[in-house]
Structure 1
């Protein structure tokens, strides 16, 4: 059963989480019960695919053993080789799950949510290396974090220290009322976004483009803007469901979207769109690459170093979506946009060519919107489909 993909799923959730709500309103702890709920929910989600269920179990054991082993090792030593090996082994299942279908090999490794679970596991290894995680993690807590079912398929990507802070927080009945209210509000927003607005755009507009557009050019133009809006409302709807259910379970999963189509530039966009993913890549790919290169003194030009970091970041982000040509070009496109905006920022800082006022703010939003929509058009793959 696809998470949040049917009303039956929400009905099952309502039944499973009813005791959580009752305990929460009484100011009692409910995380032990929620751990059981996560296991039951995952059983329901993966019931239709024994292969994926087995892959999930093996993957979880793999990650837990790696994390536990590295935490134990890190207390005694800190060799670069062991750290890099641990990171590679952590992301290896994800790499294989992307490569096998591309090589026309049956993918027995992949399962729903492997990307988000990998990001969680790899993050724990990196933060252990950085000294942010210094002690052994309780096995039950570690499993709950990795297998937290509300966010398994669509994110957002949480951080262990933030998650653990919510887990250990004592919540009164009055405080839980606010969490419950916010959670239900987010779930209803998800229904509005995904099942009303997103569905309407896809069903009534995109599906009927052949009757609406009067030319080949119009078809592609209409599709570009409609698909961009559909992608946002569909994905933001899923995220709202995941965050809302998390709130009901006492975990304030981070927001994933913040009015991305009101972005003033491409940097602003990536601080608003799929924020948990973009911040993950920023913190664990871009920043570490820049720090490493600076430490080694291999590249002294800061602008060149920053631009190379953008290329690495967005190429990896593109490949993460898939190895098809549209995802690679989508990554390159955004890397070039970031490099171009980086150059523009430096130029404007010296020349003051682009003033900061209400008019330029509105113009910047309009320009950025069109640039973003063209990127989503590339992402959709329509640019590479013949006969459309």
Structure 2
């Protein structure tokens, strides 16, 4: 069940009505959310829900154990068991075949036989997001950042809550499970803002992302040799906008949907293509993942509190593993390591010269050059991210830098969507907020008419078949 489907609109309407009918009673409203989350996920396949329930059960028992233990050794053992078991699920179902293929290549020259047939394990939708959120909750409980003990039911609902389960954002305990005891409320203004956010997500996904993907990105990346270098360049830029508008659309709809049930999710994007360096980019892109990597991987490794060489190593490890999180293919690790290497160069440069001042006669020039350089790096490295194999990425790079001209295969609709994407990305956020406030102040019947017109406009502007969200594969 996709967020941008009529099926989801009907589903959300029913769940919304049931939830607010019983919202005064904690277990009734949580029961509605649990049943809704199970139904939502089961629309793909229900089998992974059993896996999620078992993994959550192990974590829950470990949390109970280290909360009650006074022994540091026992506490460390239990939190380790919880983290290793959770990562074990991720590695088994997502990376088993990748590890098998790697061993086949590495051990074959030594005459050591390794299974060549794929394991063929089902990859649960949203497993990576489930894993990272599960680990964050265990660690937060271990650190004492989550004080109140929760039931297994609440723990499981926190992980399965349908707005964020499939493709994030990764929600911290303070924004969800710690709100379970609060009797929710929803004003007309809050409901209007939630609906506005959902509508914005629909437009981003169906009008911009899907048109760019089907109109140019997919055909060019599928057969780069059939296109000119200029067309490959436009396709690479279009892919970066497709990825942003596709994923930020999902986050918008997730945030808006959660708001309709009285929960406030943190923002997941902040105009990332206005970043002036890669550190700035990663503080704006997929913020819930970036902060997770910082808080649960980079800082526990020592962060930048250690020697400078070790800090650079920590940075490379974090970016490499963050890249690999995106998919069971070493090209994702290479993509992450490429970003890590460039961030390491930037950090060394800052150590030598000091960070440049944010104000002064040259500040705007540096910012402009940094923006162009950062966007160029992001676009070019994403060729590896988008290509199905490293060999295919090599073909795309070769065609990209060949120097052939011509843009005959870029349609007017694609050019229009690229222009809309670029302009909307640089538009001050205050204008979007003002548009949202205007929508909220409209009478309810007028809002309904506006939403219907948006839906009809989306249908009229594009005949593109609805596509899955890009981050569903992760």
Give the alignment's TM-score, normalised by structure 1. 0.86
Per the TM alignment, residue 99 of structure 1 is displaced from its structure 2 partner at its CA by 2.1
Aligned residue in 1 for 2:391: 384
1:115 equivalent among 106, 128, 138: 128
Q: Distance in 1 between matches of 2:285 and 2:126?
A: 19
What CA distance in whole angstroms lies between the structure 1 residues aligned with 2:282 and 2:4? Answer: 27
Residue from 135, 145, 151 that aligns with 2:158:
145
For the Cα contact (< 8 Å) 2:191–2:260, is it kept in 1?
Answer: yes
Of 330, 338, 347, 2:335 maps to: 330
> 377-386 vs 204-213, which deviates more?
204-213
1:98 aligns with 2:80: no
Equivalent in the alignment of 2:450: none
Q: Deviation of residue 178 (structure 1)?
A: 3.1
Measure the CA separation in 1 of the matches of 2:266 and 2:382: 24
- Match for residue 373 of structure 1 among 370, 379, 389: 379
Per the TM alignment, residue 370 of structure 1 is displaced from its structure 2 partner at its CA by 1.0
1:193 equivalent among 193, 204, 209 = 204
Shift of 1:113: 1.4
Indicate conservation of the 8 Å contact 2:320/2:336, yes or no.
Answer: yes
Distance in 1, matches of 2:301 and 2:203, equals 40
- Rounded to whole Å, the distance in 2 between the matches of 1:260 and 1:21 is 36
Select between 333-342 and 56-65 the one with higher mean Cα deviation.
56-65
State the 4+ residue runs in structure 1 displaced beyond 4 angstroms: 21-24, 28-31, 170-173, 207-216, 350-356
Say whether the 8 Å CA contact 1:183–1:243 is kept in structure 2: yes
Pick closer, same or farther for the CA change 1:217–1:369 going to 2, 3 Å: same
Equivalent residue, structure 1, for 2:469: none
Partner of 1:61: 54
Give 1:372 shift.
Answer: 1.2
- In structure 2, the partner of 1:274 is 286
Higher relative CO (Cα under 8 Å, sequence separation at least 6) belongs to 2
- Cα offset for 1:156? 0.3
From 114, 128, 133, the counterpart of 2:146: 133
Question: Structure 1 residue 211: deviation in Å?
Answer: 11
TM-score w.r.t. length of structure 2 = 0.71
Query: Do 1:318 and 1:327's aligned partners in 2 also have CA atoms closer than 8 Å?
Result: yes
Unaligned runs of 5+ in 2: 101-117, 397-474
RMSD, matched Cα: 2.9
- Give the deviation of 1:172 after TM superposition: 4.5
Contact 2:22 2:29 in 1 (8 A): no
Distance 2:262 2:339 in 1: 36
Per mean C-alpha deviation after superposition, the further-off stretch among 252-261 and 339-348 is 339-348
Change (3 A) 1:126 1:350: closer
Q: Is 1:78 equivalent to 2:72 in the alignment? A: yes
Find the aligned partners of 1:217 and 1:124 in 2 and give their Cα distance.
47
Distance apart, 1:32 and its partner CA: 3.3
Counterpart residue number, 1:297: none
C-alpha deviation, 1:307, in angstroms: 0.8
Separation in structure 2 between the aligned mates of residue 251 and residue 350 of structure 1, nearest angstrom: 39
**Is residue 2:83 matched to residue 1:87?**
yes
State the 1:363 CA deviation.
2.1
- Shift of residue 82 of structure 1? 3.6
Higher radius of gyration, 1 or 2? 2
Q: Secondary structure at the match of 2:149?
A: coil
Residues 166, 252 of structure 1: 8 Å contact kept? no
Quote the Cα distance in structure 2 between the aligned partners of 1:353 and 1:69.
Answer: 47
The answer to whether the 8 A contact 1:68-1:136 is kept is no
Would the alpha carbon gap of residues 334 and 144 (structure 1) be closer, same or farther in structure 2, given more than 3 Å must change?
same
* CA drift at 1:280: 0.5
1:244-290 C-alpha deviation (Å, 9 max, x unpaired) = 11111111112111100111110111111000011001100000001
Choose from 313, 334, 339 the match for 2:318. 313
Structure-2 separation of matches of 1:223 and 1:172: 45
**1:290 match: secondary structure:** coil
Q: Which residue pairs with 2:216 in the alignment?
A: 205
| Counterpart residue number, 1:244 | 256
Give CA-to-partner distance per residue, 1:115-172, whole Å, 9 cap, x none: 1111122112212221223443123321221111110111000111332343334454
- Between stretches 85-94 and 73-82, larger displacement belongs to 73-82
